Amino acid sequence: MAQMDRDTAPAGPVVSGFSGNGFRVGDDLYPNGLLLAPDWVRDWQAPALDALGPDALIDLLALEPRIEFLLLGTGAVMRRPSPAFVAAIEARDIGVEPMDSRAAARAWGLLRAEGRWIAAALLPLG
């Protein structure tokens, strides 16, 4: 398992490493995908990227106050989500930042350490 080091630990859940196709948060392993909010983490039965719709992220999109943007981890490699998905999220005044899931996990920790009010949806690595 790869470990991630941080100088400043952000409040809330932090991805501390990767294992197989999944993510480690604290002592828990999330093998299927991961939803991260500033104050909670949940296992996510992530759909394929091309089948992803806003309904799969309803708990993140309903956060109050509204999140600044969504970090979308697209799996082992960076791929673009569908234009329809991006438009549906942006219609809620929430930006979408796609990147591979490892990069999204790292960005999550850095941005949360800055106090940014964001959410992340990470598709599995495999």
pLDDT in tens, 51-87: 999 999 999 999 999 999 999 999 999 999 999 999 9
Pairing of strands 22-25, 28-30: antiparallel
The whole-angstrom separation of Cα 75 and Cα 100 is: 5
pLDDT band at 11 (very low <50, low <70, confident <90, very high): confident
For the chain, the domains span 6-122
d(CA 95, CA 123): 18
Tally: H helices and E strands in the chain: 3, 9
The amino acid present at 77, given as its one-letter code, is V
CATH class assigned to 6-122: alpha beta
What is the distance, to the nearest Å, from the Cα of residue 111 to the centroid of all Cα atoms in its chain?
A: 12
Task: State the number of CA atoms in the 13 A half-sphere of 103 facing the CB.
Answer: 13
pLDDT of residue 2: 52
| The pLDDT value given to residue 126 | 87
